[in-house]
Structure 1
Amino acid sequence: MARKLKTFRTSLGFYDLAIAAPSMKAPLEAWGADSNLFHQGVAKETDDPDVVAATMSKPGVVLTRPAGSSGRFAEHSDLPINLESGENRIQREKRRPKPAKRTAPKISEREERWTAR
């Protein structure tokens, strides 16, 4: 009797990864993980209907999509176009603009003589 497949997903590098597998051990091997990503909280089982449908159509195959995107999972995915996260972009926009270069104030001859004493 075949075991029921579950859908697991994680985000590694530039990609979100998803796979349909019978246990937590199989995705870790397929993703090439050296440690238990589920224990670390990086990987989890998902019940998102779009992800489940994509992985169940190709069980045991690692499907990818650009990290942080809402695109569909596919066997071969292009790199993200904009690698800057939204949070970094917002922080950069909140920075104060650099002040304009200031010139030294002009000192009168009288003040110059006064400071030379």
Structure 2
Amino acid sequence: MPKKLKTYQTSLGFYDQAIAAPSMKAALQAWGASSNLFHQGVAKETDDPDIIAATMAKPGVVLRRPIGSDGPFTESAELPADLGEGEARPRRELKKRPAKTAKKQARKIDDRAARKAAAAFEKEERRREAERRKDEAARARERARRDKAVAAAEAALAKARREHEAKAEEIEAERAALDERAEAEQARWDKQRKKLEEALRRARE
């Protein structure tokens, strides 16, 4: 049986955010929070009837409104018009209302509506999980494509290096052979030159 939903509220960046979720952990996951905002005092379970009604109408969906405003929570909220020059307002702590105020203002949700909201939350969670799996699969495919391209480039570089080294060795061998021929030719010429110079010297006597 789906767990009963509660409405949680926090302030992140330029927005107040609210969601109907079965637990604080589920709310933090939906908000994409990297730390426990409830322990930090910037998130709480809300008893505001209007916020509860809005989130229960779209369980599992993160609703927003400009931070500091009293307007309704919606899926797409505009930025607040009175932001400072390039500065975001600091997070403000959310204070819990007295218990008796909560009892007076909290709007009752019958069991049937609660079950329906909880089922809708689970459906939204499954949709989000499917999106996450889809994104992970896309990232895995991109990593595989990149790894394949890197492997192909590395293989091409290694092949070109081997070919270069083979040609360099061949050229070096040819150079060594030419040096040997040059030395032999120089030795032959020196021997011949000496004989011819000696013959020339004798002819002049």
> Which segments of 5 or more consecutive residues in structure 1 lack a partner in the other structure?
85-117
Partner of 1:27: 27
Structure 1 vs Structure 2 CA RMSD: 1.2
Distance in structure 2 (CA, Å) of the matches to 1:40 and 1:78? 26
TM-score by length of 2: 0.41
Tell me which residue corresponds to 1:13.
Answer: 13
Report the equivalent of 2:40. Answer: 40
Q: Secondary structure at the match of 1:37?
A: coil
The aligned counterpart of 1:53 is: 53
- Higher Cα radius of gyration: 2
User: Which amino acid is 1:14 matched to?
Assistant: F
CA deviations on 1:9-68 (whole Å, 9 max, x unpaired) are: 000110000000000101101111111000111100001000000000000000000000
- Identical amino acids, percent of aligned pairs: 74
CA–CA distance in 2 between the matches of 1:30 and 1:41? 18
Q: Of Structure 1 and Structure 2, which has the larger fraction of its residues in helix?
A: 2
Instruction: Map 1:1-117 onto structure 2 (within 5 A).
Output: 1-84=1-84
TM-score, L = length of structure 1: 0.70
Distance, in Å, in 1 between the alignment partners of 2:66 and 2:27 is: 18
Equivalent pairs counted in the alignment come to 85
Letter in 2 for 1:9: Q
Structure 2, unaligned runs of 5 or more: 85-205
> Secondary structure, in 3 states, of the residue corresponding to 1:30?
helix
In 2: Cα distance, 1:25 partner to 1:35 partner: 10
Shift of 1:83: 1.4
What is the rounded CA distance, in whole Å, between the counterparts of 2:41 and 2:82 in structure 1?
26
Bigger shift: residues 54-63 or 75-84:
75-84
Cα distance, 1:2 vs structure 2: 1.2
CA distance in 1, matches of 2:79, 2:42: 20
Number of the residue aligned with 1:92: none
Separation of aligned partners in 1, 2:30 and 2:5: 15
SS of the residue 2:39 aligns to: helix
Provide runs of 4+ in structure 1 moved above 2 Å.
none
Amino acid at match of 2:19: I
Distance 2:33 2:3 in 1: 23
